Amino acid sequence: MAGFFLRWFLAFALLAATFNPTGYSYVGWARDNLNAELPMVVLGGLLLLVGYIIYLRATLRSIGAFGMLLVLAIAGALVWVLYDLGLLRLEEGAARIWLGLGILSLVLGIGLSWSHVRRRISGQSDMDDVSA
């Protein structure tokens, strides 16, 4: 279980490092420094891209696009229920952004962890296609 939370936290950190409402993110920094520090902006963007490729490739291989949509739908329905019960307020724009980052990171965290969950449930391991 600790492994899942670590993968989820790292996905959240990747997303929040890319964009968040505080302004302390890659998008905010790149926007302010594009002309002055173009090589650093490009390097930072490429490093973030590597993180996204790792997460998205693992997520697409483990749960696929339909699984990603299903997790998003479940999370959206949960937000709807919490909002309808009055347990969640969405009036503030920053809160909506943080909630969106949390939901997207949940999708990526589940995608990266799903092979581990499936192996524990079924006893079968996933592996990439290997040519002889």
- Which are the contacts of 30, defined by CB distance < 8 A and separation ≥ 6? 41, 44, 45
Can you give the pLDDT at residue 123? Answer: 67
Spatial separation of the C-alpha atoms in residues 18 and 68, rounded to whole Å: 20
Helix, strand, coil percentages, rounded to 5, for the chain: 75, 0, 25
| DSSP 8-state symbol, 23 | S
Tens-digit pLDDT profile for residues 66-123: 999 999 999 999 999 999 999 998 888 899 999 999 999 999 999 888 766 666 677 6
Can you give the pLDDT at residue 14? Answer: 96
Can you give the pLDDT at residue 129? Answer: 46
Asked if 48 and 17 touch (Cβ cutoff 8 Å), the reply is yes
Can you give the pLDDT at residue 124? Answer: 63
Tens-digit pLDDT profile for residues 8-61: 999 999 999 999 999 899 999 999 999 899 999 999 999 999 999 999 999 999
| DSSP 8-state symbol, 29 | H
Spatial separation of the C-alpha atoms in residues 81 and 75, rounded to whole Å: 10
Taking the model in full, what pTM does it have? 0.81
